[in-house]
Amino acid sequence: MNTKPLSGKIAFVQGGSRGIGAAISRRLAQEGATIVLTYVSSPDKAAQVVASIEAAGGKAQAVQADSSDAAALTAAIRNVAKSLGRIDILVNNAGVLAMGPLDEFKLEDFDRTLNVNVRSVFVATQEAARHMGDGGRVINIGSVNADRMPFAGGTAYAMSKSALIGLTKGLARDLGARGITVNNVQPGPVDTDMNPDGSDFSGALKGMMAIGRYGKVEEIASFVAYLAGPEAGYITGASLTADGGFGA
């Protein structure tokens, strides 16, 4: 008897080739879901994630789709839904981090931050919801910096992640009547390529945390897996923090 909670589910993970996204892809596959993950410029890393899922007995495929390109992202989701029949779980993990002094910050970096961190979430959810039924799940990956930006230079990033809070609430209202939940996971400092543990910057961040260590990608993935599962059906419109006490 198959007792995996996500058995038979189709999960689309945008930005699933590395870091938190790769861990989410692996964990959802472990829970029984068929995974489709997107990548932009890392086909080798995407292939490695797919291979690791298949080696563990799961099903996965990778598709190239730039999250800043609304047409490409929409087409990718539509094609997956057509080939696999539907989408049950959407994880909006794609994100960029551009930092710099306010008087030197480039407008193109501001626009790309909005396009990837905010607009792609709206675009992907709008299309995926067309192929979701009752019990569908949308999970956005935000950041604790939506609530606390303790250093200079992160204005655009903090703004984009704060926008996800309102977007999540609005989408939860839009989709709630259809039995689809929408939630926002806000990680604190997590050991990834974007923000590696052991960097010159990591010591200062650890000093701001109650636990005093970086998070592991698997810890965020387990949180996402819970929200994607049947036991989380009463949670929607929420921004839920997993930050080691960064905001405490």
Contact between 156 and 113 (Cβ < 8 Å) = yes
Distance CA 12, CA 138 (A): 10
Residue 157 falls in the annotated catalytic set = yes
Look-up of token digits 């598709």: 63
Contact between 8 and 30 (Cβ < 8 Å) = no
Of 234, 223, 185, 229, nearest to 88 (Cα)? 229
81: tokens are 């839904």
Distance CA 181, CA 137 (A): 5
Neighbour order of strands in the sheet with 34-39? 60-64, 34-39, 10-14, 89-92, 137-141, 181-187, 239-242
Exposure of 177 by Cβ count < 10 A (0-12 exposed, 13-18 middle, 19+ buried)? exposed
- Active-site pick, 39, 157, 226, 234: 157
Residues annotated catalytic, as ranges: 157
